[in-house]
Amino acid sequence: MPIDLYYLPESGPCQAIMMLAKTLGVDFNLKETSLTAGDHMKPEFVKMNPQHCIPTINDNGFILWESRVILGYLVETYGKDDSLYPKDPKKRAVVNQRLYFDIGTLYPKYSLYYMPIIYEGKSPDPANVAAFGQPLEFLEKFLEGNEWVAGNDITIADYSLGVTVSHLEVHTYRK
């Protein structure tokens, strides 16, 4: 039975989950969830996810939200091996550090910089532009001497960070 994925097509975190699912051969029952229409605030959605955020999955009654956690769950549940999310504690710690970097540093700076441009048509705030440079410098450091952000093998951190960076590129060229 396919997993229900409550998502927005243009959402980077949702896209990371869909890309990983394709890699793993996991099927989704896609349930587009419009924020502007208030789908995420409907009682049945809030009952399932009290934070009313997307992406959210329902895997046969197991409800989970937060894209980076969903990535880990999908690999642990449906992966054929641990290459995308290593079981070795040190390798996994580096992957987790990169995932936390994405959610706690890169993505928030991306949001402050680009969301007002995308959704409100505003000009970039110079303070947010300046603040966005530091996380990108960190990301460059992570890649020094590595093929991927957490070493020489692709991991779920690359799916998450890769989508954030690709959205950055898209929005840079849209301006």
151-171 burial code (b ≥16 CB/10 A, e <16): beebbbbbbbbbbbbebbeee
Structure tokens at 8: 């927005």
Q: How far apart are CA 3 and CA 54, in angstroms?
A: 14
* Whether the Cβ atoms of residue 155 and residue 95 lie closer than 8 Å to each other: yes
Q: Which two tokens stand for residue 57?
A: 């999955």
Q: Which of 11, 111, 160, 166 is catalytic?
A: 11
Contacts of 156 (CB under 8 A, 6+ apart): 20, 68, 71, 72, 75, 84, 85, 95, 99
Please say if 67 is a catalytic residue. no
**DSSP bridge partners of 102:** none
Interatomic CA distance for residues 21 and 25, integer angstroms: 6
- Which residues does the annotation mark as catalytic? 11
